[in-house]
């Protein structure tokens, strides 16, 4: 992906390095020639197998700090890495109990976690699709779900199929707690019927925290016009991975993320490639 020189500055803003770049770009009014921009590599991408999202900005020639990495592994749950307080959540890949309450009566449902398809939109946002059913009569009351997670906020729409109540919709808005439980409200909608006001709840562990951290880049180097390699260390808060040195190698292949490449690894192993499946991709200037 190729951008103008000015876009290097714009790309720094989400990573809070705008001030650093602005200082570099500043030129006295009396100067006849602006000093050359430093080499820079930046990217924002969804990675596959496992599902990850990484945003980074690597800058050449800034002493000890060379930029920053914002990383999320959407399929690395807190039970694996101990990141219970990451503040980023995803549905578990197992049956999830979902209970709606209407008129004081509970209606037990099950979300089929194994059916979920996840798409990472950023380091904090995830969309998902899947299926489930009403426990009393799963064959008559199957449904599909389309949802969105933004930090600890959950929104979703359930649409019933089958013969029980086809076309009935539930519009859900809820809050994910630190323990992975979810609670909120829902609006029941069906053509020709009055709207219904419901509440819903999912038990502890339904949407567990996933691995997420922000780390400074400590060194980088640029290969030719379109390649860069940088290193960072996983922060101490990440139990089981704290202090791990990671090497990332990227290549800007031109217009469109499909031409870019991304690889990472832990020394002494060479960086292994991960497929870029979404996001803007990589830029090296």
Q: How far is CA 137 from CA 52, 108, 109, 164, 253, in A?
A: 37, 10, 10, 9, 53
Does the residue 61 lie in any domain?
A: yes
My answer on whether 216 and 184 are in the same domain is no
My answer on whether 198 and 215 are in the same domain is no
Q: Which domain holds residue 15?
A: 5-21+36-83+210-284
Global confidence as pTM:
0.85
My answer on whether 11 and 77 are in the same domain is yes
On the question of pLDDT at 1 being above 70, the answer is no
- Other Cβ atoms less than 10 A from the Cβ of 250: the count is 29
Does the residue 70 lie in any domain?
A: yes
My answer on whether 242 and 176 are in the same domain is no
My answer on whether 198 and 214 are in the same domain is no
Report pLDDT for 82: 57
My answer on whether 106 and 163 are in the same domain is yes
| DSSP code per residue over 144-212 | EEEEEEETTEEEEEEEE-TTTSTT-EEEEEEEE-TTS-EEEEEEEE-TTS--EEEEEEE-TTSS-BEEE
275-284 pLDDT tens trace: 999 999 999 9
Joined together, the tokens standing for residue 216 give: 């400074």
My answer on whether 75 and 216 are in the same domain is yes
Does the residue 112 lie in any domain?
A: yes
On the question of pLDDT at 21 being above 80, the answer is no
128-172 pLDDT tens trace: 999 999 999 999 999 999 999 999 999 999 999 999 999 999 999
For 240-267, what is the mean pLDDT? 96
My answer on whether 198 and 114 are in the same domain is yes
Report pLDDT for 76: 85
- The last residue of one of the domains, among 155, 185, 202, is 202
On the question of pLDDT at 243 being above 80, the answer is yes
Does the residue 231 lie in any domain?
A: yes
- The last residue of one of the domains, among 147, 167, 202, is 202
How many distinct structural domains can be found in the chain? Answer: 2
β-pair partners for 102: 105
CATH number at residue 153: 2.40.128
Does the residue 232 lie in any domain?
A: yes
My answer on whether 179 and 196 are in the same domain is yes
Report pLDDT for 79: 75
For 26-34, what is the mean pLDDT? 54
Does the residue 169 lie in any domain?
A: yes
My answer on whether 108 and 172 are in the same domain is yes
Report pLDDT for 37: 77
My answer on whether 196 and 215 are in the same domain is no
Which residue blocks in 2-114 are alpha helix, DSSP H?
5-12, 18-25, 78-81
100-126 pLDDT tens trace: 999 999 999 999 998 999 999 999 999
Joined together, the tokens standing for residue 135 give: 């426990």
On the question of pLDDT at 85 being above 90, the answer is no
- The last residue of one of the domains, among 152, 186, 202, is 202
My answer on whether 195 and 111 are in the same domain is yes
**Pick from 110, 112, 72, 70: which is nearest to 90 by CA?**
72
**What are 265-273's contacts with CB under 8 Å, separation 24+?**
271/229, 271/247
Does the residue 88 lie in any domain?
A: no
Does the residue 239 lie in any domain?
A: yes
Joined together, the tokens standing for residue 47 give: 């990675």
């Amino acid at each position: 992906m190729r951008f103008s020189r000015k876009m290097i500055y714009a790309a720094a803003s989400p990573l809070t390095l705008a001030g650093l770049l602005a200082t570099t770009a500043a030129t006295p009014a009396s100067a006849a020639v602006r000093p050359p921009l430093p080499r820079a590599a930046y990217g924002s991408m969804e990675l596959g197998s496992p599902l990850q999202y990484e945003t980074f900005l690597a800058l050449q020639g800034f002493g000890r700090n060379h930029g920053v990495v914002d990383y999320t592994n959407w399929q690395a749950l807190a039970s694996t890495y101990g990141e219970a307080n990451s503040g980023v959540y995803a549905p578990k890949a197992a049956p999830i109990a979902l209970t709606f309450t209407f008129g004081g009566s509970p209606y037990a449902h099950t979300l089929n976690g194994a059916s979920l398809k996840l798409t990472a939109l950023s380091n904090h946002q995830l969309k998902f699709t899947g299926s489930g059913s009403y426990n009393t009569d799963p064959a008559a009351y199957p449904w599909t779900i389309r949802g969105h997670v933004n930090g600890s906020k959950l929104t979703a729409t359930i649409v019933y199929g089958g013969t029980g109540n086809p076309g009935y919709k539930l519009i859900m808005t809820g809050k994910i707690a630190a323990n992975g439980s979810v609670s909120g409200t829902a609006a029941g909608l069906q053509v020709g019927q009055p709207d219904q006001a419901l509440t819903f709840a999912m038990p502890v562990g339904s949407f567990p925290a996933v691995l997420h951290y922000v780390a400074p880049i400590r060194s980088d180097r640029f290969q030719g016009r379109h390649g860069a390699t940088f290193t960072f260390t996983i922060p101490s808060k990440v139990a089981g991975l704290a202090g791990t040195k990671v090497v990332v190698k990227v290549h800007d292949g031109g217009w469109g993320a499909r031409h870019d490449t991304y690889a990472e690894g832990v020394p002494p192993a060479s960086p292994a490639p991960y497929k870029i499946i979404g996001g803007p991709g990589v830029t090296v200037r």
